[in-house]
Amino acid sequence: MYDLIKILVVVLFSLSAFAQEPVSPSPLTFQTWKDQQVLEAQNQVLRISARMSFLKSSKSSGSVKEPSHIANGKLRKISDTDTMATAEQDLKRAQESLAAANALQFEDYVDVYIPTLANQPEALQKLSDRLSKEELAEIFKGIMKGSAASDAKRNAALLEGLNGSSTSKTP
């Protein structure tokens, strides 16, 4: 039971640390972004493990009517639908998410995080000051690759439309 309390304290401390972040944080470098993704995934694994421990202890002590803390900070009652099998599935998904977070590459940063800054020129400026020339070049390559792919799709659709309309107009 003491271990469960320690886990819950760590989870609650982690959640309160995230809640105190400024509203408009400075843009993240790749390593900071990846570390944040890994930390969030680790916290999810810990929360689910704590939930599983609670479910195990509640089964051994009979019906429990105490509220349980969940990820979004709200309290809820443990229901019959919150079974060990569901918790095990959630744990498996959380472990897969943790593995994916650990495997994140710079290309993922360019594809996932950088687009969130598209409407924040000040953030992009701050980020460009913090990144190396190599990292900036990789970002530009990723943006150009994405732009080229969308241009190719748009051009193919236009050509298809032109070809389709020219064949339908033949007498």
Question: Which residues is 76 bridged to in the sheet?
Answer: 68
Higher pLDDT, 153 or 78: 153
Token pair for 155:
């051009």
The pLDDT of residue 64 is 47
The pLDDT of residue 56 is 86
pTM of the model as a whole? 0.62
Please write the tens of the pLDDT for every residue from 68-120: 555 555 555 555 456 888 999 999 999 999 999 999 999 999 999 999 998 99
In the chain, what are the domain boundaries? 2-105
Q: Are 43 and 14 in contact (CB under 8 A)?
A: yes
Q: How far apart are CA 171 and CA 167, in angstroms?
A: 9
